[in-house]
Amino acid sequence: DTEVTQTPKHLVMGMTNKKSLKCEQHMGHRAMYWYKQKAKKPPELMFVYSYEKLSINESVPSRFSPECPNSSLLNLHLHALQPEDSALYLCASSPSLAPGGLRPQHFGDGTRLSIL
């Protein structure tokens, strides 16, 4: 069982819908991440939160809107998505953003998103 929980596991939505992806961890980690993974491709970083503040936005379109309401939760709000946004969206966490040391990232199982 993963220590990072993502819901829903699957989501199908139309291009005009508004939906949200949720991620939760209770390991006391203060850094949380959203990655996007297309089929047979590696994950690509989208957003990074550190101590509930947005630290990095990797030039992601505004139709993706992240939110970190508290240290355990990370949301990704979706609006007016395009078919090319269909992918596996992965959430991850780590104790901090501090470089070095034994600080592996823990990943959830992802939300598989399909845009009709």
Partner 1 sequence: KQEVTQIPAALSVPEGENLVLNCSFTDSAIYNLQWFRQDPGKGLTSLLLIQSSQREQTSGRLNASLDKSSGRSTLYIAASQPGDSATYLCAVPINNAGNMLTFGGGTRLMVKP
Pairing state between β 4-7 and 106-107: unpaired
- Closer residue to partner 1, CB minimum distance, 48 or 78: 48
Site track for partner 1 across 34-73, x = CB under 8 A: -------xxxxx--x-x----xx-----------------
Burial of 107 (0-12, 13-18, 19+ CB in 10 A): middle
For 70, the token pair is 């508290």
For 73, the token pair is 């939760």
- Give the residue among 59, 55, 5, 67 at the shortest CA–CA distance from 36: 59
Q: Does 96 engage in binding with partner 1 (CB under 8 A)?
A: yes
Q: How far is the CB of 109 from partner 1 (least distance, A)?
A: 4
Residues that bind partner 1 (CB under 8 A): 2, 4, 6, 31, 33, 41-45, 48, 50, 55-56, 88, 90, 92, 94, 96-110, 112
